[in-house]
Amino acid sequence: MKTGVCYYPEHWPEERWAQDAAQMRELGLSVVRIGEFAWSRLETRDGTLHLDWLQRAIDTLHAAGLSVVLGTPTATPPRWMLDKHPDMLAVDADGRIRDFGSRRHYCFSHEAYLAECRRIVEILARRFGQHPAIIAWQTDNEYGCHSTSISYSGHALAAFQRWCEARYGTIDLLNDAWGNVFWSMEYDNFEQIGLPVGNVTESNPSHQLAFWRFSSNQIARFNRAQCDIIREHSPGRDVVHNFMGNFVEFDHHEVSRDLDVATWDNYPLGFLTRDNGDATDQERYLRTGHPDGSAFHHDLYRGCCNGRWWVMEQQPGPVNWAPYNPAPLAGMVRLWGWEAFAHGAELMSYFRWRQAPFAQEQTHTGLLLSNGDADVAATELADLNRELADLASFSVEELRREAPGDASLDEPSTAEPAQQAPNETIDRLLGALPVHSDIAIIFSYAGNAIQDIQLPGGSTYSPLGFCQRVHSACRQWGANVDIIAPTAPLDNYRLVLVCSSTEDDPDLVSRLKAAHQQQQSVIVLFPGTGSRSSEYRIPDSLPPGHFEQLLPVQIIRSESLPTNELLSATGSTGRNRRCSQWREEVKSPVEPRMHFDDQWGFHYEQQGVHYINAIPDNNSLLSLLGELLEEAGIAGRDLGPWLRTQRIGPYRVAFNFGARPVELDKELGSLLDFHHDTPLLIGSRTLEQAQVAVWVAE
């Protein structure tokens, strides 16, 4: 794994650039992302270009031996653009124009703005596309950030009407697909169709889903336009985009089809304080982030571009945008780096090089303070880079021969660190170590949207949150997990967990069937699977629609419950599971494994295909997953809430997110390739909070 940083040469005097570049090298950084917000300096007036400064910045970085990821500046159209295209701004749900003065002020459906983007991207790609320093291009910046996936502008409306015409062909077919007869919502022509906003009560869910799909398509189209131009003028370079955390407003699998690498922006403490509703988690992980928060997204984005993924922006210290912005515990910057390595990142890049003394993000830390002195993260990053170099210098074969029992391996730093020669340019960042997982979670963005539109588990239920809880439970059993698209191959998985495939998807059903029959994968369907057609209707055969081909169940009723209403299901062995939020009543010839007090069944299984018809609480989910792992023949051990491990290539890495030290000998026993005499390459057997241990797995 290489490390990198996000840098804004346009914010600093040119005389400083060479010193910055030299300092970056000293810290072991090899990649720098620049340019993504620089449009007003690249084109000061319409057609007045100033590209020479960017050339000099790239040359300076190159001369220091740094590689460059060049961002396209389309997330920040300059002020003159608005004089030219006053109607290019997005409109929010209340009809307000999302005006100039920050960023992302554009509507994805504005054709003339898209043409401007094509123009500037082509100018940049022609000028810099062959520069030896440039290894990749980032399109735009964080599509959808600040609620910008959706716009209710006149341009969006017109484009949506055309989109509906292309999808449905005739207005009668659209009326039929959406069930518009329901409240006399039928249209006579496509021009009458509005956007699903501002209605007296809930808009038709079919209409909402169609608009979600349209908005997602518009983002993919916008992105594709840039990718095509870049590929034409800058062949051989990776095209990437930086996605976000806890963000499902468009289909990332769809956008990723045009990318070489999925990258994402990881702010573990910001995500915890902004997005996690659990008071215990908030308190316990305030300065470490949730133990599975980063891991979930690493695993999700690894599944977007055939395994190739980076962290493009990594939190270095307090950020500026969450309700509270605590400083990470000492050690966490290093730990997050090891975590990205362990999940197979090719690059870990920090946001940002130097704290900005002006404008919106003044309280957002960087690797350097605003005066240019090193901040805490710089030191931890330098340690990480030294250790990664040490690790690369070990011969795993030798370690395997010597281990177990060779205590000398506890002192790895005597080995020569693998130094990178100055001025050596990296051609491409291909080649993280492979991550093998026996477990796949199928994540469907459309399925998630279907659940979000009419929350089946009540207002406290989050479909994404449930998926994260399932992932977390697998991680607590010490397992590697892949999170994959509904269209991804299922080869080699022993356990396939279908969490969010609410959309009745015959193609997925046939591939699940094949995986089950040909490689005996254990298949698990969670509540809501297949419960709506792609047009948002209940399948004619009742839920789970085509998934019924996998096991004979029919959902005849679905109820939502408050989180504190815990229902207990008991089985013949005396085992019990507690569920809340969402429960389904199942009709099936199969005898359920358990029953609730009111005799609704719970947990149906036939020959290795499971239907879980309620939402278990955390403890029940953990023991349910334990049972499923066992049935799938996957070794696991309950690591408790805050110890986590990940297997990567020949190594296993362990992380302690909890306040108490963990004795690895005690907690791991002889499981997870760890024995009392397993030598550690990094770390110690008493794993303190925010510390990492690495060993060679069997």
Minimum gap (Å) between residue 267 Cβ and ligand GAL:
6
d(CA 516, CA 506) in angstroms, rounded, equals 15
Cβ closest to ligand GAL, residue 267 vs residue 655: 267
The b/e string for 1-30 (b: 16+ C-beta within 10 A; e otherwise) is bbbbbbbbbbbbeeeebeebbebbbebbbb
At CA 460, angle to CA 598 and CA 245, rounded to 5? 135
**313 part of the active site:** yes
Name the active-site residue from 43, 116, 254, 313: 313
Facing residues of 596 across strands?
A: 569
- Report if residue 265 touches ligand GAL, rule: CB under 6 A: yes
Name residue, tokens 């006053």.
86
Which helix (H) or strand (E) segment holds residue 693: the answer is strand 692-696
Ranges within 106-135 binding ligand GAL (CB under 6 A): none
Least Å from the CB of residue 395 to ligand GAL: 39
Please enumerate, as own/partner, the contacts of 637-643 that have beta carbons within 8 Å and a separation of 24 or more: 637/477, 637/478, 637/668, 637/669, 637/671, 637/672, 638/476, 638/477, 639/476, 639/477, 639/478, 639/667, 639/668, 640/476, 640/667, 641/284, 641/291, 641/476, 642/284, 642/285, 642/291, 643/667, 643/687
Half-sphere exposure of 139 (CA within 13 A, CB side): 32
Q: Which is nearer to ligand GAL, 257 or 274 (CB)?
A: 274
Given the complex with ligand GAL, which of 143 and 168 has the nearer CB atom?
Answer: 143
Task: With contacts defined by CB under 6 A, name the span among 41-49, 138-146, 479-487, 539-547 that binds ligand GAL.
Answer: 138-146
Comparison of 319 and 470: residue with beta carbon closer to ligand GAL: 319
The reply to whether 271 sits near ligand GAL by the rule CB under 6 A is: no
Q: Closest distance between ligand GAL and the C-beta of residue 244, in Å?
A: 7
Stretch that binds ligand GAL, among 114-122, 140-148, 245-253, 475-483 (CB under 6 A): 140-148
Quick check: 177 and 168 in contact, CB under 8 A?
A: yes
Minimum Å distance from CB 131 to ligand GAL? Answer: 23
Site stretch for ligand GAL (CB under 6 A), options 204-212, 313-321, 438-446, 475-483? 313-321
How distant is the alpha carbon of residue 487 from its chain centre?
Answer: 17
Alpha-carbon radius of gyration of the chain: 26
* Interface segment toward ligand GAL; rule CB under 6 A; list 137-145, 454-462, 491-499, 671-679: 137-145
CB of 262 to ligand GAL, least distance (A): 15
Quick one: which of 634, 337, 686, 366 has its CA closest to 480?
634
Nearer to ligand GAL, 131 or 146 (CB): 146
What is the DSSP-derived secondary structure letter of residue 534?
T
Whose CA is closest to 262, among 327, 206, 306, 322?
A: 306
Residues facing residue 261 across a β-bridge: 240
DSSP 8-state symbol, 425 = P
Give the Cα separation of 527 and 624 in Å (integer): 14
Beta-bridge partner residues of 687: 662
| Nearest CB to ligand GAL, comparing residues 137 and 178 | 137
Q: Does 319 interact with ligand GAL (rule: CB under 6 A)?
A: yes
**From 20, 43, 116, 142, residue interacting with ligand GAL (rule: CB under 6 A):** 142
Based on CB atoms, which residue is closest to ligand GAL, 321 or 394? 321
Number of residues that bind ligand GAL (CB under 6 A): 11
Interface mask (CB under 6 A) for ligand GAL, residues 143-162, using x and -? --x-----------------
Q: Is residue 141 part of the contact set for ligand GAL (CB under 6 A)? A: yes
Binders in 600-629 for ligand GAL, by CB under 6 A: none
Please report, as residue ranges, which positions from 388 to 407 form the binding site for ligand GAL (by CB under 6 A).
none
Shortest distance, position 502 Cβ to ligand GAL, whole Å = 28
Find the catalytic residue in 36, 142, 503, 605.
Answer: 142
Angle subtended by helix axes 111-128 and 205-233, to nearest 10: 30
Spatial distance between the Cα atoms of 294 and 268, rounded to a whole number of angstroms: 6
CB 132 within 8 A of CB 425: yes
CB-nearer residue toward ligand GAL: 36 or 452:
36
Residue type at 528 in one-letter notation: G
- Any contact of residue 69 with ligand GAL (CB under 6 A)? no
Q: How far is the CB of 355 from ligand GAL (least distance, A)?
A: 11
Q: Binding of ligand GAL at residue 351 (CB under 6 A)?
A: yes
Q: Are 629 and 621 in contact (CB under 8 A)?
A: no
Instruction: Answer yes or no whether residue 385 interacts with ligand GAL by CB under 6 A.
Output: no
CB-based contacts of 573, cutoff 8 Å, min separation 6: none
Contact characters 322-341, ligand GAL, x per CB under 6 A: --------------------
Contact flag: residue 140 with ligand GAL (CB under 6 A): no
364 binding ligand GAL? (CB under 6 A) = yes
HSE of 36, CA atoms in CB hemisphere, 13 A: 26
Structure tokens at 465: 């949150």
Find the shortest distance in angstroms from Cβ 17 to ligand GAL.
20
**Which one-letter DSSP state was computed for residue 415?**
S
Which CA distances in Å does 158 have to 172, 193, 401, 435? Answer: 19, 9, 67, 45
Q: How far is the CB of 291 from ligand GAL (least distance, A)?
A: 21
Q: Do the Cβ atoms of 686 and 662 come closer than 8 Å?
A: yes
In the complex with ligand GAL, which residue's Cβ is closer, 187 or 321?
A: 321
Q: Are 497 and 439 in contact (CB under 8 A)?
A: yes
Whether 402 sits among the annotated catalytic residues: the reply is no
CB of 100 to ligand GAL, least distance (A): 17
- Min dist CB 78 to ligand GAL, Å, is 17
Nearer to ligand GAL, 364 or 593 (CB): 364
Nearer to ligand GAL, 311 or 319 (CB): 319
- The residues binding ligand GAL (CB under 6 A) are 141-142, 145, 265, 267, 313, 319, 321, 351, 361, 364
Active-site residue set: 142, 313
